[in-house]
Chain A
Amino acid sequence: MAATFQGLGAAAALSLSGSFDPNRLHLPCRRSLSVTRLSFVVRLEERIVSGSNLPPRRAQQLVSKAVATKADAASASTASKPGHELLLFEALREGLEEEMDRDPQVCVMGEDVGHYGGSYKVTKGLADKFGDLRVLDTPIAENAFTGMGIGAAMTGLRPVVEGMNMGFLLLAFNQISNNCGMLHYTSGGQFKIPIVIRGPGGVGRQLGAEHSQRLESYFQSIPGIQMVACSTPYNAKGLMKAAIRSENPVILFEHVLLYNLKERIPDEEYVLNLEEAEMVRPGEHITILTYSRMRYHVMQAAKTLVNKGYDPEVIDIRSLKPFDLYTIGNSVKKTHRVLIVEECMRTGGIGASLTAAITENFHDYLDAPIMCLSSQDVPTPYAGTLENWTVVQPAQIVTAVEQLCQ
């Protein structure tokens, strides 16, 4: 089902530089669906939402317990259950609520998550249902309450810590780096830290430099953590559930401008795989790797590119740490050209790491140097025009593809 954009106000709307026709987002699938025993394949009106068209892997038995309960989903048609429509923030809430229902040790901590319902409404209504202790309103002390979440995780709970804005988690860097990532190892494996740290980040609508940060690049070196970025209501819910169920500390990156995306998601329970990338649009000419909000800029550019005769393969990498080198590698082996489109800064960003990883592993398959489009190394300006120029726009993506495909 096509994802539609709901404008609910200036801050919330995802504005695209050109006119955008949501109905064209849904691109026909080129692959026949093979019935596999991969239970996380969900046919959503003929759009493949996960990398299920790849040959079954030996590792499947490892992931099966983290995946949807319907083992025969492939054969069970989703046509009888049309699913329900919701916005991305509601999908996050649904995932969180389901996990809190399922396991009483799951709790939420953060600023304004309780009575206020969350500054982006992700936890709305949860405090009424679960109480003030399970949905804890904290004072404004990121370092301390993140550390408190870590201590609680070490002693048996499964906290979900919300940073009101990802940028605020810079204040919690001590706890995230030293304790969250390292204590499992430093304690010789005695204490696990099944914490989820989540919050909105990314460049918004003229929020100013400090509210427009992309912390994925700062956190990526921390050993012992996993990072995922959601981009659609479907993967938001699935990744939220997977992150909560994971025994590892997971940082879930959401984006301020994507909270009001609308999509139809399945009624039945599903959990996605934290380590896998998502095939958004299969293609032949070039691999475009992206995540979070840039996925939409890429897809918009893809429309233009298709009209010009190109056939881009678009992969939403989703897992920022570790990278899904299998999905990415298969794509590179097929297309031989790579373009990375990200919202991170140029220096030391996710794209930089991804470039290195692809060069190391798939150098022989490349016909052209990897191109990486990132945001400018500039504190995000307030002025709208300047802000637009700091992030990658669809026109730049089109130009880059044309350049790479010469």
Chain B
Amino acid sequence: MATAFSSIGVIQNPHCESRSVPSRKLYSAVLGSTQKFRFNPPSRSISGCSETLGKPSPIYAISEVFKEKKRKSASSSSGLLITKEEGLEVYEDMVLGRCFEDMCAQMYYRGKMFGFVHLYNGQEAVSTGFIKLLKKEDCVVSTYRDHVHALSKGIPAREVMSELFGKTTGCCRGQGGSMHMFSKEHNLIGGFAFIGEGIPVATGAAFTSKYRREALNETDCDHVTLAFFGDGTCNNGQFYECLNMAALWKLPIVFVVENNLWAIGMSHLRSTSDPEIWKKGPAFGMPGVHVDGMDVLKVREVPKEAIGRARRGEGPTLVECETYRFRGHSLADPDELRDPAEKARYAARDPIATLKKYMIDNNLANEVEFKAIDKKIDEIVEDSVEFADGSPQPSRSQLLENVFADPKGFGIGPDGRYRCADPKFTEGTAHV
């Protein structure tokens, strides 16, 4: 099942030194699409971006460290990619994501939540692999497929489920919904419905981190921002504009592409002139990394370096995770377009099963421990549903709160009073 791409992070250096590019298998094998793709050899010369940048970038470090680790792990005595504690933590987080999303599907079909709900089944390795390596102060920006990012970042399942049910105990008081998960406490800055519109916001959060360090002289501020988005977004202008700015100012951000090959019904190959997204990083002067997003152990290696780079002020990284969503684009998508053989291929690479197998094969844990975690997660998810069910719907008085941070923004009414001073305002019946 592993392909030529699955284990090595391939880096291209804007320094224009390394000209040799590893040979590629045909895309059809890598990407699982049955479509034949006319192979375009990558261009030999990268424009002198490093000259204009004026600063050599030490991005060899990533591939070297990565390859070093691989070699080391093969030869060292323990040879393991993860410890037992970490492994169980990672397993638990992925199972939480999977179980939660499955419950979402059930609840949706029972009429507890409405609208557009986009599930993350199959992609858990990316969320867990990256977010579990962050500190609480680091920021995460996601898209509409954000439930599991929210859970990995630390938002309690109860609050996410309540938000999906539209209850006032949700993380956004029921005002955001499935596509707009936010948490100030856990630094989750969205949740965005339009693809690409979260990337500039993530760039802004990274800018704040740099500003704090350099303009406000908080020298220990090293917060990193992760921006998650999909393959379809990588054809959007906002993506490129932000790659440019992030590399230009060496912002502490990691751009994580969750390439699941499909944008609703549009195959990545049909919409993208050069489908190798990681290559677009070096074009802007940042390292581009490709990683097998179905294997959490491989995924984890990348943020260790990329986040470290960002913290040290060395700038952004573009990471392309080859992954797959087991369900349709949303719960309204009949998912008839994708080839069942392709789905089967990826189902066999289920990240949870893969991790479990690794840990059992290497005697890190046994079935009993996994079952215990499964049970614990089941209880958490069921509890979250009960909590959400039992929570109150928002009352009318909530309607007009939070439109403005300063409610004077509603203006002065005909009677000379600020509209927000009108008692009907707190009742939500005022005319604004």
A153 to B189, CA, bound (A): 12
A321 to B413, CA, bound (A): 12
Q: What distance in Å separates the Cβ of B226 from its nearest Cβ neighbour in chain A?
A: 13
Encode contact with A along B234-245: 1 for CB under 8 Å, 0 otherwise. 000110011011
On whether the beta carbons of A184 and B404 are closer than 8 Å, the reply is yes
Chain A residues positioned under 8 Å from B409 (CB to CB): 224, 226, 246, 248, 274-275, 322
Interface residues of A, count at CB 8 A = 67
On whether the beta carbons of B182 and A188 are closer than 8 Å, the reply is yes
On whether the beta carbons of B200 and A175 are closer than 8 Å, the reply is yes
On whether the beta carbons of A191 and B184 are closer than 8 Å, the reply is yes
On whether the beta carbons of B402 and A147 are closer than 8 Å, the reply is no
In residues 171-196 of chain A, which contact B (Cβ within 8 Å)? 174-175, 178-179, 183-194
Chain A residues positioned under 8 Å from B208 (CB to CB): 151-152, 155-157
Interface pairs (26), CB distance under 8 Å: A55-B416, A59-B421, A62-B408, A141-B241, A143-B238, A144-B203, A144-B237, A144-B242, A147-B242, A155-B204, A155-B205, A155-B208, A174-B238, A179-B197, A184-B404, A185-B175, A185-B403, A186-B180, A188-B172, A188-B174, A190-B172, A191-B189, A246-B409, A247-B406, A248-B406, A322-B409
A188 to B209, CA, bound (A): 24
Q: From A159, which residue of chain B is reached at the shortest CB distance?
A: B204
Chain B residues positioned under 8 Å from A192 (CB to CB): 405
Given A179-B197, A187-B172, A148 contacting B207 (CB threshold 8 A): yes
Query: What 4 pairs across the A-B complex have the smallest Cβ distances?
Result: A151-B204, A147-B200, A322-B411, A144-B241
- Among A260-268, A323-331, A335-343, A389-397, the one that faces the other chain is A323-331
Chain B residues positioned under 8 Å from A57 (CB to CB): 412, 416-417
A209 to B177, CA, bound (A): 41
B170 in contact (CB, < 8 A)? yes
A13 in contact (CB, < 8 A)? no
Q: Which of B172, B207, B245, B413 contacts A326 (CB 8 A)?
A: B413
On whether the beta carbons of A276 and B182 are closer than 8 Å, the reply is no
Chain A residues positioned under 8 Å from B206 (CB to CB): 151
B414 in contact (CB, < 8 A)? yes
A150 to B141, CA, bound (A): 13
Besides A157-B208, A321-B411, A322-B419, 17 more A-B contacts (Cβ < 8 Å) are A57-B412, A58-B416, A62-B408, A104-B216, A139-B241, A141-B244, A145-B200, A145-B245, A148-B200, A148-B245, A150-B201, A184-B404, A185-B402, A185-B403, A189-B405, A190-B182, A248-B405
A151 to B182, CA, bound (A): 13
Q: What distance in Å separates the Cβ of A332 from its nearest Cβ neighbour in chain B?
A: 9
Given A188-B175, A248-B404, A152 contacting B421 (CB threshold 8 A): no
Given A155-B205, A179-B197, A323-B411, A147 contacting B406 (CB threshold 8 A): no
Q: From B217, which residue of chain A is reached at the shortest CB distance?
A: A104
Given A179-B201, A189-B401, A322-B410, A154 contacting B189 (CB threshold 8 A): yes
Chain A residues positioned under 8 Å from B202 (CB to CB): 151
Encode contact with B along A224-265: 1 for CB under 8 Å, 0 otherwise. 101000000000000000000011100000000000000000
A310 in contact (CB, < 8 A)? no
On whether the beta carbons of A178 and B194 are closer than 8 Å, the reply is yes
On whether the beta carbons of A174 and B245 are closer than 8 Å, the reply is no
B60 in contact (CB, < 8 A)? no
Encode contact with A along B82-123: 1 for CB under 8 Å, 0 otherwise. 000000000000000000000000000000000000000000
A146 in contact (CB, < 8 A)? yes
